[in-house]
C-alpha cells in the first residue's frame, strides 16, 4: 500500500495519504475529493541524483546511447 502526496484543488492543502486499491482520496482539511497526486520529494530527489551522478553505466552514464 503506497503513500502518495496530494494537493487539494479546493483549499490548496498539501497532504499524504495511504492508498488502498482504487480508494477515493479526500482532503483532510475540507473533505473535498478534487485532489491531485503530486511527485513525491523522494522521487524528485532520486531523479536529480541519477541525472547528476554521471558515469554509473545506466542511462546518462554513457551506455544507453541517449547522447548525454
Structural domains in the chain plus CATH codes: 3-41 (2.20.28)
pLDDT at 67: 57
Cα–Cα nearest to 25, from 2, 57, 56: 2
pLDDT at 61 over 90: no
* Mean pLDDT over the full length of the chain: 75
Mean pLDDT on 27-39: 93
Q: What is the C-alpha to C-alpha distance for residues 35 and 23, in angstroms, rounded to an integer?
A: 13
Please name the residue that has the C-alpha cell 503506497. 2
**Model confidence pLDDT, tens digit, residues 37-55:** 987 655 555 444 445 555 5
Q: What grid cell was written down for 7?
A: 494537493
Q: What is the C-alpha to C-alpha distance for residues 46 and 56, in angstroms, rounded to an integer?
A: 14
Q: What is the C-alpha to C-alpha distance for residues 45 and 42, in angstroms, rounded to an integer?
A: 5
Amino acid at each position: 500500500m503506497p503513500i502518495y502526496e496530494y494537493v487539494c484543488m479546493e483549499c490548496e492543502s498539501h497532504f499524504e495519504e495511504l492508498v488502498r486499491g482504487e480508494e477515493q482520496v479526500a482532503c483532510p482539511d475540507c473533505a473535498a475529493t478534487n485532489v491531485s497526486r503530486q511527485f513525491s520529494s523522494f522521487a524528485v530527489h532520486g531523479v536529480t541524483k541519477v541525472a547528476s551522478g554521471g558515469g554509473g553505466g545506466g542511462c546518462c552514464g554513457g551506455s544507453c546511447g541517449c547522447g548525454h
